[in-house]
Amino acid sequence: MPRFFVDSITDEKYACITGEDARHISRSLRMKKEDALTVTCGGIDYSCVIKEISDEAVSLEVLFFNKCKSEPGIDLTLFQAVPKLDKLEFIIQKSVELGVNRIVPVLTRRCVSRPTEKDFAKKLVRYQKIALEAAKQSGRGIVPEVAPMINFGEALEQMKKTDVPLMLYEQGGVRFSEAGLKNTGTVSILIGSEGGFDESEVAKADEAGIKRIWLGDRILRCETAPLVAVSLTMFLTGNL
């Protein structure tokens, strides 16, 4: 069944879809009055039927609603060092499908791609749209945020506020099974770009109380590592 996100539901009885989604429903999907679809708002799925439809707006009547079953029990934030080319788009898409709640791009010392904050901000609209489409496709109850790019120090400060802050490091650390993960609370995972992390960054992460995680002797690509890390986190917390 088609799924769309809305900002609000009126008295839990009525909803309205506007803009690009309305045009998609009327033109591409060719839906009609009394056709059924699902809208999601704030982690709640609302099963609806179409009452009025045009290219500008689709008015809906809510039949029933339930908490979205696809949302994980943990709040997982991925802090991803900025990779080259379009790899970040791939990481955003797949991590949203796997259950990440927030993606925070981080500029580290070994990032080959070094966009300015202004240049990166121009890409955020596209990145957020990728997150939206991935959320629709995977049946998410929320649209995960793609945050503005921050520096390494800012990332550590944000991670310190989470219950379980983790950092993937190819030169050693504990296994994911030893990270103390539970199906509650907040988790953050920091992952490097193509060049990994500088030794000074690792030392700062240690000082900040960020736990090092090791994935074994194989060196994974920067676009593979986050998907493995998120998948293992979801599996070990009972969300996969």
DSSP states of 209-221 as a string?
Answer: TPEEE---SSPPP
Residue among 127, 131, 109 at smallest CA distance from 119: 127
CB atoms within 10 A of CB 18: 14
| pLDDT at residue 9 is higher than 90 | no
**pLDDT tens-digit profile of 13-22?**
999 999 999 9
Distances (CA, A) of 193 to 73, 76, 114, 189, 201: 28, 19, 11, 13, 13
**pLDDT tens-digit profile of 165-187?**
999 998 888 999 999 999 999 99
CB atoms within 10 A of CB 164: 20
Give the pair of three-digit tokens for residue 159.
């991670």
Tell me what percent of the residues of the chain surpass a pLDDT of 90.
87
DSSP string for residues in the chain: --EEE-S--BTTTEEEEEHHHHHIIIIIS---TT-EEEEEETTEEEEEEEEEE-SSEEEEEEEEEEE-TTS-SSEEEEEEE--STTHHHHHHHHHHHHT-SEEEEEE-TT-S----HHHHHHHHHHHHHHHHHHHHHHT-SS--EEPPPEEHHHHHHHHTTSSEEEEE-TT--B-GGGS---SSSEEEEEE-BTTB--HHHHHHHHHTTPEEE---SSPPPTTTHHHHHHHHHHHHTT--
**pLDDT tens-digit profile of 105-128?**
999 999 999 999 899 999 999 999
| pLDDT at residue 45 is higher than 90 | yes
For position 92, what pLDDT does the model report?
Answer: 98
**pLDDT tens-digit profile of 62-109?**
999 999 999 999 999 999 999 998 999 999 999 999 999 999 999 999
Question: Domains plus CATH for the chain?
Answer: 3-67 (2.40.240.20), 75-236 (3.40.1280.10)
For position 30, what pLDDT does the model report?
Answer: 94
Q: 29: pLDDT confidence band, cut at 50, 70 and 90?
A: very high
For position 55, what pLDDT does the model report?
Answer: 93
For position 157, what pLDDT does the model report?
Answer: 98
| pLDDT at residue 7 is higher than 90 | no
Instruction: Name the residue type at position 66.
Output: N
| pLDDT at residue 223 is higher than 90 | yes
- Average pLDDT of the residues of the chain: 94
Is residue 189 within 8 Å of residue 166, measured between CB atoms? yes
Q: For residue 32, how far is the Cα from the chain centroid?
A: 32
Is residue 27 within 8 Å of residue 55, measured between CB atoms? yes
For position 195, what pLDDT does the model report?
Answer: 84
**Alpha-carbon torsion 87, 175, 211, 186, what sign?**
positive
**Distance separating alpha carbons of residues 177 and 238, to the nearest angstrom:** 12
For position 203, what pLDDT does the model report?
Answer: 96
Is residue 222 within 8 Å of residue 83, measured between CB atoms? yes
